[in-house]
Amino acid sequence: MIERYTLPEIGRVFSDAHKYELWCRVETLVMEAHAEAGTIPADSVEPVRQAPPPTPERVAEIEAVTQHDVIAFLTAWADNTEPREAAKWVHFGMTSSDLLDTALAAQLVEATDILLAKADALVAALRDHALEHRGTLRVGRTHGIHGEPDVWGHRVADFAFGMARSRDRLRRAREAVGVMAISGPVGTYSNIDPKVEAYVAGKLGLRPADVSTQVVLRDGISEWVSCLAIMATVCEAVALEVRHGQRTEVRELWEPFGKGQKGSSAMPHKKNPIMSERICGMARNVRAQIVPVMEGIPLWHERDISHSSTERISLPDAAIATDYLLNLTTKLVTGLVVDADRMLVNLDATHGLIYSSTVVSELIETGLSREDVYAVVQSAAMRTWDTGAPFRQTLREEADARGIALDEARLDEVCRPERFTERLAGVFERLEKLA
């Protein structure tokens, strides 16, 4: 992921420098387990532990010759070890995938914990915003067309619960991705005791794979990326709602617009929903990583490395972009300007047509057939669309023409906008308990 969209904390997790730190940690733990078992000299561990991780530049220099990143790392690290003789016990009994998959699991767990903390913050921001606007009347829309009265807090509550579910999915995926293996060539433990694997797993807070060949099967990593994609898309759903609400014809919502901010190089009057548009665009990048990562599940026999090049791009990109999305969506929600007065204006924009379904139900209760009632109400509604006359007026005229008596007092009650929000109390009660 390019620097523009990489925040420092998660960028550090996926840096080459940190990767080599993790590789050193894994290799040192393996040596500790061997030393405890008497497999290698006990005095070889401390010199290796004290050796500083090699720099990315030095590893790259050696890899240019070896064309093998693990060997380049081991060589560079050995150069930092005093006495160098101790370094010969590094990687003892291991194969490259033992190191790569175990360190990757630790790396992805680290990244997940960062993402979960930010998801918690976004859930809280959405919950608080929804509760603040539990009484802010707003027209509900289906297919982009006014439907019935609603409240803005109801719409945001849907996002809050959706993000909470996304967070909980990622918590479960943390377990799926925190799986390691140190089982040697083709995974048969031919050169390494399974107790070494168990020791390293315990120290790193990971779980040994139930079975591994020479690699950990990529179903868990695929699940993790899929969870990130869902989370990113929920962020997009929030942003898309804001984009619609900020359109000039709607003008119900506004992104935060800072002092000195500019909306257009050509049109000084513009206040564009750039944060929301960026969120929608970045979510595409996260979703795009699902298929490449999932295609790493089927490999040739016990192992090939067709998944390796993909994961070097897709896993950091998915995590870093999701981190950026969570951060930006939280800023969007906490800074969002809600124009409640404009929402009320829009509520009345269709001259009462948003009560048509309520009128249908009310007239059916008088004993008329649904077909007759629908014909009356639709005819009145079409006249309102065409002429702009109030719906109650066209409804009265259509009813009079067909000899249907309307209970005006009753229609006043059922067409009261607040009535549509009173049954949402349970939603907000549940929302108050959302953590």
Three-state DSSP state, 371: helix
Q: Which helix (H) or strand (E) holds 148?
A: strand 145-151
- Measure Cα distances from 377 to 68, 373, 384 in Å: 75, 6, 11
- From the candidates 68, 190, 264, 369, give the one annotated as an active-site residue: 264
38: exposed, middle or buried (Cβ count in 10 Å: 0-12, 13-18, 19+): exposed
Please give the CATH topology (third level) of the domain spanning 1-92. Fumarase C; Chain B, domain 1 (1.10.275)
Q: What are phi and psi of 145, to 5 degrees?
A: -105, 145
372: which residues sit within 8 A by CB, 6+ positions away?
402
Number of other residues whose CB lies within 10 A of the CB of residue 358 = 19
8 A C-beta contact, residue 364 and residue 373: yes
Q: Phi-psi region for residue 173, left (φ > 0), alpha (ψ -120 to 50) or beta? A: alpha
Interval 267-286: pLDDT, tens: 777 688 999 999 999 999 99
Q: Phi-psi region for residue 144, left (φ > 0), alpha (ψ -120 to 50) or beta? A: left
**How is the chain split into domains, by residue range?**
1-92, 95-344, 353-414
8 A C-beta contact, residue 11 and residue 107: no
pLDDT at residue 414 in the model: 82
8 A C-beta contact, residue 384 and residue 352: yes
pLDDT at residue 122 in the model: 98
pLDDT at residue 19 in the model: 98
| Nearest to 415, CA basis, from 363, 350, 356, 349 | 356
Three-state DSSP state, 337: strand
| Nearest to 238, CA basis, from 157, 172, 344, 133 | 157
Three-state DSSP state, 329: helix
331: which residues sit within 8 A by CB, 6+ positions away?
256, 275
Low-confidence ranges of the chain (pLDDT < 70): 263-266, 270
Let me know if 143 is a catalytic residue. yes
Q: How far apart are CA 323 and CA 122, in angstroms?
A: 11
For 333, the token pair is 């929600």
Q: How far apart are CA 158 and CA 161, in angstroms?
A: 5
pLDDT at residue 234 in the model: 98
Question: Looking at the domain that runs over 95-344, which CATH code has it been given?
Answer: 1.20.200.10
